[in-house]
Amino acid sequence: MRILGIDPALSITGYGVIDFTRNKILLLEAGVIKTSVKDPLAVRLKDIYQGVNSLILDAKPEVMVLEKIFAHYHHPATSYLLGHARGVICLTSAEANIPLIEYAATRVKKAIVGQGQASKIQVQRMVMSVLSLKEVPKYTDVTDALALAIAHSNIMKFNPAGK
């Protein structure tokens, strides 16, 4: 199964594509889609849309995985802006007829580290270990996207119904 994990954001959207076959995980591609803070919101959303659409056409994932949105009451505007980015990503999934799976951050951490309250560093180290990465990805957004893809593979391995 080819899995595309995406960590959506307005400035830097991280992505990671893995192949999960016979309980083995292979990293195919990872990176970021960047937008300029100088551009209007509509242009930035178009850039994310086109970047994800191009990624889907190139990688041909069978499933796309996003983190469920978490809104912190101290930063409501962040959730609002994140919602825009997530919206265009969900649209690309629907247009390509790719199933979209969403997991809470605690479920991803539990599937990766075994503990729902794991730190970012613990998740990062586990992602590096699972994928045999020699160095930490430059952007945490990439690590987060890869964690989403790996979490889905782990969840599917132990529960093919995905529940």
Please identify every residue annotated as catalytic: 7, 67, 141
67 close to 9: Cβ distance less than 8 angstroms:
no
Those residues whose C-beta lies under 8 Å from the C-beta of residue 61, and which sit 6 or more positions away, are 2, 3, 4, 17, 98
**Token pair 């390509």 in the structure block, residue:** 96
**Could you count the other beta carbons within 10 Å of the beta carbon of residue 111?**
22
